[in-house]
């Protein structure tokens, strides 16, 4: 996806998503009320007019006075619609809902049905207002991201901190963030530690504690003490800017259902207009007591009923509700089309390291032979202090009591390990090849250990070993169980780690199909083999960097922990903003619920319209039933779509 600078001041609905006429107002409390004033005026005037008609309270309320009154009641809600219809006609788009509503209500005035003409347009306008409110509500979770946009950055320049716009800060500059302030740009933590609230970025409310030199992301809130950060990205390339850009562009990627409904509406609307003309004039040739006014009234009812509002409003709103619900849960879909694609997934392929494991080595077991464990670890840690290997880092996290030992004359033996002197004793630390080369016997029990193992010899005697393993993520097991519950039976693990470790992890997680020792191209080949069966709809979950080819080849590519990964943003279709694999299950549930609601709305809209259309053509329905079939069904569909924002996904 090509990156562009995000317009952070406004996240307006896509013009196709919000097809209704724009009210032109900001939806704050004061200005939101202003949008209802025209409808309120029309409603009050309509009710007064109907009361006068019903009770015959004012005998003079006839003729041009009555016409003028209802015309004035019509204008506040009708004029914007008629104007929009006229503008569409000038652009060559004749058969719009604005055109349908205009000719239906003006036609009602022509045949003297003034209250009904006003009522139809009033209810239509109220429906539009509810639609706008529903769209704004559905967008609320996404618009909340705007609240995390920092307004300023305190940057260190000329010996002091000065306040500037985040866009004016350069890479490499140092910024200061006070308690309660938002981090304005991505960077590296210079302070010793920090506690951050990353809820707006990840959907997780739990504070994130990080140490010096850890990555921090724009939009996080500093919770405890003043911290300093070195900037690593320009603002337009920051995490929050990319998320906003991604969300804005998501609505442009329509689902097949949305595209079909829009194409259908373009064909359906002109057909309805010509059918209405037919309803008006064709009975003249077949009905003995033909009355033009009666058949025109039926045709107008036909037009009101057939307005495709419910479909054109509720379907995009349903998908946008799904996108918003996912965003609230720290899941970013790149478009509605991927919400649809996720519902069809029946095969899940996953990476191991960084996906179901933390990708961080930890000591699993310490076995000292002929030595006290603490003293044994002091010798080992003294040697590992000279190494930069990830395994050395894991060993150095061991908490050993007593004084620290110091190693001397440490040398690295390529592919085998380390040799040095600690407290006057020769120490060997490494693999079996190192021990064999120095004629040291290694116990046979080490042969059955599949995890990474560090062997230690002191003064040419085997002294013990340490088992190092990558930890499973806390929710890894429950993720596999939950995937089975939602019907994903075919789960496969592919890893670049050695096969014995991969098989052990797969066994722990109850994954039957697993392969280790794979290069990125090997993973791609495995997915291509699965794709040869057209029934397999494959989602791949990876870290978005080494797994980019497989992410691109899958039906749905899901990037884990993609918040800071450019490759994840570029390649994946769905981005899990945390490192929690369980969010994938949530993504599946959200996508399925979205599709279910969209189809409920389609069936509701078509079903009611067909019934009332038949009644209207037969003269058994009035304008009031027509209003329900159009605006009423649209409102029901909107309320149904809004349910996505209220659902629980656990």
Backbone torsions φ then ψ of 27, nearest 5 degrees: -95, 50
Q: What share of the chain is helix, strand, coil (3-state, %, to 5)?
A: 50, 20, 30
User: What's the order of all strands across the beta sheet hosting 452-458?
Assistant: 357-368, 461-472, 452-458, 425-430, 417-422, 407-413
Q: At 569, which helix (H) or strand (E)?
A: helix 566-571
For the stretch 188-209, pLDDT in tens is: 999 999 988 876 666 555 677 8
| pLDDT given for residue 176 in this prediction | 95
- Domain limit, last residue, from 200, 234, 268: 234
Query: Which tokens hold the place of 423?
Result: 């407290």
Q: Say if residue 350 is in the same domain as residue 488.
A: yes
CA–CA distance, 39 with 626 (Å, rounded to integer): 19
Q: Say if residue 189 is in the same domain as residue 281.
A: no
Q: Say if residue 467 is in the same domain as residue 364.
A: yes
Q: Is 23 part of any domain?
A: no
Instruction: Characterize 334-366 residue by residue with b for buried, 16 or more Cβ atoms within 10 angstroms of its Cβ, and e for exposed.
Output: bbbbbbbbbbebebbbbbbbbbbbbbebebbeb
| pLDDT given for residue 321 in this prediction | 81
| pLDDT given for residue 398 in this prediction | 85
Q: Say if residue 387 is in the same domain as residue 444.
A: yes
Write out residues in the chain with pLDDT < 70, as ranges: 1-33, 131, 134-149, 199-206, 239, 242-262, 265, 309-310, 313, 544-546, 561-569, 617, 650
Q: Is 351 a catalytic residue?
A: yes
Q: Is the pTM of this model over 0.85?
A: no
Q: Say if residue 42 is in the same domain as residue 191.
A: no
Q: Say if residue 363 is in the same domain as residue 450.
A: yes
DSSP 197-231: E-HHHHS--S-EEEETT-EE-TT-EE-SS-EEEEE
Backbone torsions φ then ψ of 473, nearest 5 degrees: -70, 150
| pLDDT given for residue 34 in this prediction | 80
- Domain limit, last residue, from 472, 505, 526: 472
Which residue segment(s) compose the domain that 530 sits in? 331-356+473-577
CA dihedral 431, 434, 438, 440 (to 10 degrees): 10
- For 25, the 3-state DSSP assignment is coil
What CATH number has the domain bearing residue 156? Answer: 2.70.150.10
Q: Is 286 part of any domain?
A: yes
User: What's the order of all strands across the beta sheet hosting 193-197?
Assistant: 208-211, 193-197, 221-222
What CATH number has the domain bearing residue 534? Answer: 3.40.50.1000
Q: Is 311 part of any domain?
A: yes
| pLDDT given for residue 206 in this prediction | 62
Q: Say if residue 268 is in the same domain as residue 316.
A: yes
CA–CA distance, 352 with 356 (Å, rounded to integer): 5
440 near 461, Cβ under 8 Å?
Answer: yes
In sequence order, the β-bridge partners of residue 468 are 363, 452
Q: Say if residue 478 is in the same domain as residue 547.
A: yes
Query: Which tokens hold the place of 149?
Result: 């946009």
Nearest in space to 283 (alpha carbons), one of 300, 302, 270, 296:
296
Q: Which residue has the tokens 């022509």?
A: 110
- For 194, the 3-state DSSP assignment is strand
Q: Say if residue 559 is in the same domain as residue 602.
A: no
Q: Is 391 part of any domain?
A: yes
Q: Say if residue 527 is in the same domain as residue 462.
A: no
Q: Residue 96 region, left (φ>0) first, then alpha (ψ -120 to 50), else beta?
A: beta
CA–CA distance, 608 with 314 (Å, rounded to integer): 15
Q: Say if residue 203 is in the same domain as residue 130.
A: no
CA–CA distance, 638 with 20 (Å, rounded to integer): 14
Q: Is 583 part of any domain?
A: no
Count Cβ atoms below 10 Å from residue 265 Cβ, excluding itself.
18
- How many domains does the structure of the chain reveal? 4
CA–CA distance, 351 with 494 (Å, rounded to integer): 5
Query: Which tokens hold the place of 7?
Result: 């317009």
The separation between the first and the last C-alpha atoms of the chain, rounded to the nearest angstrom, is: 31
DSSP state of 359: E
Q: Which residue has the tokens 């080490």?
A: 446
Q: Which residue has the tokens 């996953």?
A: 350
Q: Is 395 part of any domain?
A: yes
Note the residue count of the chain: 650
Strands (E), 385-460: 407-413, 417-422, 425-430, 452-458
Q: Is 618 part of any domain?
A: yes
Q: Which residues contact 325 (CB under 8 A, 6 or more apart)?
A: 141, 590, 594, 644, 645, 647, 649
CA–CA distance, 380 with 196 (Å, rounded to integer): 35
Nearest in space to 149 (alpha carbons), one of 202, 218, 237:
218
Q: Residue 415 region, left (φ>0) first, then alpha (ψ -120 to 50), else beta?
A: left
In sequence order, the β-bridge partners of residue 193 are 211
Q: Which residue has the tokens 């990319």?
A: 242
- Domain limit, last residue, from 444, 472, 500: 472
DSSP state of 161: E
Q: At what angle do helices 309-328 and 633-642 cross, to 10 degrees?
A: 10
Q: Which residue has the tokens 């990156």?
A: 3
Nearest in space to 259 (alpha carbons), one of 579, 563, 458, 16:
16
- For 175, the 3-state DSSP assignment is strand
Count Cβ atoms below 10 Å from residue 262 Cβ, excluding itself.
17
Could you give the C-alpha distances from 103 to 56, 86, 303, 459, 578, in angstroms and in order? 29, 11, 8, 99, 53
Count Cβ atoms below 10 Å from residue 163 Cβ, excluding itself.
9
- Which entry of 186, 208, 351, 630 is annotated as an active-site residue? 351
What CATH number has the domain bearing residue 426? Answer: 3.40.1110.10
Q: Is 287 part of any domain?
A: yes
Q: Say if residue 397 is in the same domain as residue 412.
A: yes
Query: Which tokens hold the place of 251?
Result: 């609505």
């Amino acid at each position: 996806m090509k990156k562009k600078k995000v317009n952070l001041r406004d996240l307006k609905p896509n013009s196709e998503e919000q097809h209704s006429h724009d009210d032109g107002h900001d939806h704050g409390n004061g200005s939101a009320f202003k949008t209802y004033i025209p409808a309120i005026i029309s409603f009050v005037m309509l009710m007064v007019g109907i009361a006068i008609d019903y009770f015959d309270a004012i005998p003079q309320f006839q003729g041009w006075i009555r016409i003028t009154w209802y015309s004035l009641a019509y204008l506040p809600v009708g004029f914007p619609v008629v104007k929009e219809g006229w503008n569409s006609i000038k652009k060559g788009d004749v058969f719009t809902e604005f055109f349908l509503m205009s000719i239906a209500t003006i036609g009602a005035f022509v045949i003297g049905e003034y209250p009904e003409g006003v009522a139809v347009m009033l209810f239509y306008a109220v429906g539009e207002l509810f639609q706008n409110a529903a769209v704004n509500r559905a967008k609320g979770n996404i618009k909340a991201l705007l609240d995390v946009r920092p307004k300023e950055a305190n940057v260190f320049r000329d010996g002091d901190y000065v306040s500037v716009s985040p866009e004016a800060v350069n890479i490499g500059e140092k910024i200061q963030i006070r308690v309660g302030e938002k981090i304005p740009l991505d960077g590296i933590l210079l302070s010793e530690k920090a506690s951050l609230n990353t809820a707006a970025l990840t959907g997780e409310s739990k504070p994130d504690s990080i140490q010096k030199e850890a990555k921090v992301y724009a939009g996080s809130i500093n919770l405890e003490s003043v911290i300093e950060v070195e900037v690593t990205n320009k603002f337009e390339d920051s995490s929050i800017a990319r998320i906003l850009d991604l969300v804005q562009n998501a609505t442009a990627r329509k689902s097949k259902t949305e595209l079909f409904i829009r194409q259908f509406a373009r064909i359906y609307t002109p057909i309805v207009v010509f059918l209405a003309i037919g309803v008006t004039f064709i009975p003249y040739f077949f009905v003995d007591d033909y009355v033009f006014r009666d058949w025109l009234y039926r045709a107008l009812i036909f037009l009101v009923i057939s307005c495709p509002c419910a479909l054109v409003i509720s379907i995009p709103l349903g998908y946008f509700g799904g996108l918003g619900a996912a965003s609230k849960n720290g899941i970013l879909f790149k478009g509605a089309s991927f919400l649809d694609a996720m519902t069809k997934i029946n095969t899940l392929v996953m990476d191991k390291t960084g996906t179901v494991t933390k990708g961080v080595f930890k000591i699993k077991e310490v076995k000292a032979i002929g030595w006290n464990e603490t003293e044994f670890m002091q010798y080992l840690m003294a040697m590992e202090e000279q190494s930069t290997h990830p395994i050395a880092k894991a060993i150095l996290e061991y908490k050993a009591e007593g004084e620290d030992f110091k190693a001397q004359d440490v040398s690295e033996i390529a592919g085998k390990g380390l040799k040095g002197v600690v407290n006057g004793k020769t120490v060997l630390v490494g693999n079996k090849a190192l021990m064999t080369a120095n004629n040291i016997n290694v116990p046979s029990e080490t042969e059955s250990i599949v995890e990474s193992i560090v062997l230690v010899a002191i003064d040419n005697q085997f002294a013990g070993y340490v088992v190092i393993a990558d930890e499973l993520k806390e929710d890894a097991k429950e993720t596999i169980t939950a995937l089975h519950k939602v019907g994903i039976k075919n789960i496969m693990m592919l890893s670049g780690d050695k096969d014995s470790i991969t098989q052990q992890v797969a066994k722990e997680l109850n994954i039957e199909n697993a392969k280790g020792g794979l290069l990125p191209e090997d993973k791609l080949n495995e997915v291509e083999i699965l794709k040869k069966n057209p029934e397999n709809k494959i989602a791949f979950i990876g870290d978005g960097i080494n797994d980019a080819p497989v992410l691109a080849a899958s039906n749905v590519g899901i990037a884990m922990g993609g918040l800071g990964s450019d490759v994840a943003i570029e390649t994946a279709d769905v981005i899990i903003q945390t490192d929690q694999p369980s969010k994938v299950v949530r993504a599946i549930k959200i996508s399925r619920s979205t599709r279910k609601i969209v189809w409920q709305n389609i069936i509701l809209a078509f079903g009611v319209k067909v019934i009332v259309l038949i009644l209207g053509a037969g003269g058994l329905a009035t304008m009031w039933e027509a209003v329900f079939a159009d605006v009423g069904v649209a409102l029901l569909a909107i309320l149904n779509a809004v349910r996505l924002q209220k659902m629980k996904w656990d």
